[in-house]
């Protein structure tokens, strides 16, 4: 296996002619279940993947930050005293955003030389952006000797993404990038932010399959879904006290107010309400070792995302449907925002190799596209 952390240090030496003071990383993530629930104050169950973004850092000149992004073949330079977005180097906005929130928190940062290198596929729904945010936050923190608790780091990273980069994501990705432990899932209550590590089944592997379909429409569709959830809360909240988000809507309440909701809003709300239940049930099932029952919930989640939330696409459906007749697969579903990106599959260890070959072949036969497979 390539040592990417070492390679990032090596890159730093060759770019700047001296040792980095440190190399910090953060992992990408896959969400096992709990999709489009985080911004509804609900529950999620993501897990880190064994792929990372690494950021090296050494003191720079004055208040200048120089960053080289190996995977983009690009570099950017900016001053810490005038932090603005850079449309020519949009990837650097994540690093600028982190510098901005740290400065806003009252930290006086020194200039820095940095190199970024990683193996989290970009634009695949595996949160390379949250990994970049958390890795660069850790890099700035260690260079400036600032100690930041992981929960705080997650919040700062999200603020950088929401307020500086301008992406209206929930808290899930930054939280798992900051607090996730390899080989475990992280159950998060996105309202209270209580969280705990959840053991993954021993005899199964988490296998990610990348459709390689770009998620062009993802951000507009994502924002549209968010607004539809707000609309459901507005309508139900007029009749029910204490409904501040879809998290507060029980299945019974949804039935009671069903006829008051326009058809599209009915379906969006039903997805979120049932998905929250599935996440809570999943954590219990995994705790008891009921892997197949958890797998069924993964399939249910996919169906709900496909028909009610309409966040799937043909490629994702092909991948999930292809697993139905395969041996050794406990469950499969789309993961992340959707509209492209990846599926997550829970596959018995002994079947992983066979699964990998079969899923690639079936996908190619249906779509003429080559899928990529990552075993977590």
Residues 283 and 294: their CA atoms lie apart, in Å, by 8
Q: Where are the alpha helices (DSSP H) in 122-217?
A: 128-143, 150-159, 172-179
Q: Pick between residue 38 and residue 315 the one whose CB is nearest to ligand GLA.
A: 38
Show Cβ contacts of residue 237 under 8 Å, excluding neighbours closer than 6 positions: 243, 244
Closest separation in Å from C-beta 6 to ligand GLA: 30
Q: Pick between residue 172 and residue 185 the one whose CB is nearest to ligand GLA.
A: 172
The residues that touch ligand GLA, with contacts defined as CB under 6 A, are: 35-36, 38-39, 169-170, 172-173, 336-337
Closest separation in Å from C-beta 357 to ligand GLA: 29
Closest separation in Å from C-beta 174 to ligand GLA: 8
Closest separation in Å from C-beta 336 to ligand GLA: 5
Q: Pick between residue 172 and residue 332 the one whose CB is nearest to ligand GLA.
A: 172
Closest separation in Å from C-beta 35 to ligand GLA: 4
Q: Pick between residue 114 and residue 272 the one whose CB is nearest to ligand GLA.
A: 272
Catalytic residue among 41, 173, 248, 308: 173
Residues 150 and 264: their CA atoms lie apart, in Å, by 38
Residues 185 and 175: their CA atoms lie apart, in Å, by 12
**E strand or H helix that includes residue 280:** helix 263-288
Closest separation in Å from C-beta 127 to ligand GLA: 6
Residues facing 184 on adjacent strands: 199
Query: Which residue is listed with tokens 């829970």?
Result: 346
- The residue length of the chain stands at 376
Closest Cα to residue 211, out of 337, 53, 88, 62? 337
Q: Pick between residue 93 and residue 173 the one whose CB is nearest to ligand GLA.
A: 173
Helix/strand/coil percent split, the chain, to 5 = 45, 20, 30
Q: Pick between residue 31 and residue 136 the one whose CB is nearest to ligand GLA.
A: 31
3 state DSSP class of 24: strand
State yes or no: is 173 an active-site residue.
Answer: yes
What DSSP letter does each residue of 156-200 carry, written as one string? HHHHIIIIII-----SHHHHHHHH--TTEEEEEETTT--EEEEEP
Closest Cα to residue 129, out of 215, 220, 197? 215
Closest Cα to residue 38, out of 161, 123, 133? 161
Residues marked active site are found at 173
């Amino acid at each position: 296996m390539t040592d990417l952390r070492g390679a990032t240090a090596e890159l730093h030496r060759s770019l700047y002619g001296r040792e980095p003071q440190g190399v910090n990383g953060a992992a990408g993530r896959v969400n096992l279940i709990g999709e489009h629930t985080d911004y509804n104050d609900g529950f999620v169950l993501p897990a880190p993947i064994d792929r990372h973004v690494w950021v090296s850092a050494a003191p720079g000149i004055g208040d200048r930050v120089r960053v080289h992004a190996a995977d983009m073949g690009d570099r950017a330079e900016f001053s810490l005293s005038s932090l603005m977005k850079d449309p020519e180097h949009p990837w650097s906005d994540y690093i600028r955003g982190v510098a901005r929130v740290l400065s806003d928190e009252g930290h006086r940062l020194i200039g820095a030389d940095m190199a970024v290198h990683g193996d989290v596929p970009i634009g695949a729904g595996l949160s390379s952006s949250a990994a970049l945010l958390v890795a660069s936050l850790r890099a700035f923190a260690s260079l400036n000797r600032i100690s930041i608790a992981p929960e705080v780091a997650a919040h700062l990273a999200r603020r950088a993404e929401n307020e500086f980069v301008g992406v209206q994501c929930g808290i899930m990705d930054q939280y798992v990038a900051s607090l996730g432990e390899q080989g475990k899932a992280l159950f998060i209550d996105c309202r209270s932010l209580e969280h705990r590590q959840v053991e993954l089944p021993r005899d199964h592997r988490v296998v990610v399959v990348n459709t390689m379909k770009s998620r062009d429409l993802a951000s507009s569709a994502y924002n549209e879904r968010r607004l539809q959830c707000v609309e459901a809360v507005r309508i139900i909240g007029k009749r029910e006290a204490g409904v501040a988000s879809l998290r507060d809507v029980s299945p019974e309440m949804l039935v009671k107010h069903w006829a008051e909701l326009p058809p599209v809003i009915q379906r969006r709300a039903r997805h979120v309400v049932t998905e929250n239940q599935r996440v809570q049930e999943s954590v219990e099932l995994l705790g008891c070792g009921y892997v197949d029952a958890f797998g069924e919930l993964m399939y249910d989640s996919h169906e709900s995302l496909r028909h009610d939330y309409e966040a799937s696409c043909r490629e994702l459906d092909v991948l999930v449907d292809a697993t139905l007749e395969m041996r050794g697969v406990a469950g499969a579903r789309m993961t992340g925002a959707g509209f492209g990106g990846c599926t997550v599959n829970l596959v018995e260890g002994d079947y992983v190799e066979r699964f990998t070959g079969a899923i690639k072949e079936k996908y190619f036969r249906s779509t003429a596209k080559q899928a990529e497979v990552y075993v977590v």
